[in-house]
Amino acid sequence: MQTSMILDWPWQVLVNKYTLSKRQVVNELSTFYSFLLGFLIALIIGSVILIIQDKSPGDTFSLMFKLSIGSVNSLSSSLNKATPLILAGLGIAIINTVKLWNIGAEGQIFMGAIAVNLIYINLQLSNSTSFILILLFSSFLGGAFCILIPAVTKVLFGVNEIITTLLTNYIVLGLTIYLVNGPWKDPDSLNFPAAAYVGKEVYLPNIFGKLSYGFLICILFTAFAHYLKNNSVFGYEMRIAGGSEMTAIYAGINAKQKAFFAMLIGGGFAGLAGGVELLSQTHRVSTGISQGFGYTAIIVAAITGMRPIGIFLVGSLFGALSIGGSVIQTIGVSTYIADIIQASTLFGALIIQFFFNYQLKRVDDG
């Protein structure tokens, strides 16, 4: 009993004399600074792990840098890898404008790819440009359809969207497994579970090197998401709807309607990521088409405070980390070092951001 009191005493003093207070003014660049410091923390953690493994941090990181952005082809690969991350992250940010979370971007990516393949095998057009545009639009609709049930259950019954969007990932993955092992299975795939390749007439062309036009689409949709969230009337109404239900009612804004359409648009962005990935990289539906893009996109969106421009920049960095991490195994370093850096960046940035937003004040300061 006495020992417990001795251990509890310093903590009780801290609780009684200090309190956390939200800062009235927060530096506009706090998110940027938080990311930089979080990334620095991640590099330190990665360096410690490499030293434990008897690897040189300097040599490893320089090799990752060289193999991810050191040439036109490596830079192209990194940006191609970043494209689905960015598009899915933008979708998550749009939904978060109404203070909702989308954990189902992974499933929406798969559904976007499924929609592309469904339209491709049932529609034939001689004009390849028109065909590609239709397929990309179908991927957007596929992602929106994937989040439809979570959106309806949220606005009508108040069901937690985190749970419903997460569960749709498993449903869509199960559907994908069924399709690539059943009706869509490619007979020439040597028993590998994958659908047949789409024709080269619908491949997204390259801008330069290996960089696909998908990255140009990514740039355009980043600009669109920035305008939608920050400059459009709909974006203003979404912010009001997400901020206060009473304020939305007073302003004549239907908060449930805005939440519903925000979820559909956000799901569509993630579905488009699946369509772009299929038409530019994998060229067919398989269980490996996403590679966890939807989950990593949550990290990207969270680190940047849901800002579209920040998502574009951080998503590009994470794409480079992914490519660099996948090739350093040639020197005997585990590819998971890139995952550790990504996760550590998130935790570090969130912790730093917390101290930008809150301060420790003495209770007797008034």
CB 195 within 8 A of CB 284: yes
Q: Say what the pLDDT of residue 83 is.
A: 97
Nearest to 42 by CA among 298, 354, 352, 358: 352
CA distance 176 to 20: 47
Give pLDDT tens digits for 214-241: 999 999 999 999 999 999 999 999 999 9
- Which tokens go with 94? 């749009």
Q: Say what the pLDDT of residue 8 is.
A: 53
In the block, tokens 């480079």 appear at: 320
Q: How many CB atoms lie within 10 A of CB 67?
A: 20
In the block, tokens 């990514």 appear at: 218
Domain ranges of the chain: 79-331
Residues with Cβ within 8 Å of residue 342, at least 6 apart in sequence: 42, 296, 299, 318, 321
Q: Say what the pLDDT of residue 11 is.
A: 52
Residues with Cβ within 8 Å of residue 359, at least 6 apart in sequence: 20, 21, 23
* Angle subtended at Cα 221 by Cα 251 and Cα 229, rounded to the nearest 5 degrees: 20
The tens-digit pLDDT sequence of the chain (366 residues) is: 444 444 455 556 555 666 777 777 767 678 888 888 988 998 999 899 889 888 888 888 888 888 888 899 999 999 999 999 999 999 999 999 999 999 999 999 999 999 999 999 999 899 999 999 999 999 999 999 999 999 999 999 999 999 999 999 999 999 999 999 999 999 988 888 999 999 999 999 999 889 999 999 999 999 999 999 999 999 999 999 998 878 888 889 999 999 999 999 999 999 999 999 999 999 999 999 998 999 999 989 998 989 999 999 999 999 998 888 887 777 777 777 888 888 888 888 888 888 888 877 776 654
Q: Say what the pLDDT of residue 364 is.
A: 62
CA distance 341 to 43: 7
The CATH number of 79-331, from 2.60.40, 1.10.3470, 3.40.50, 3.90.245, is: 1.10.3470
- To the nearest whole number, what is the mean pLDDT of the chain? 90
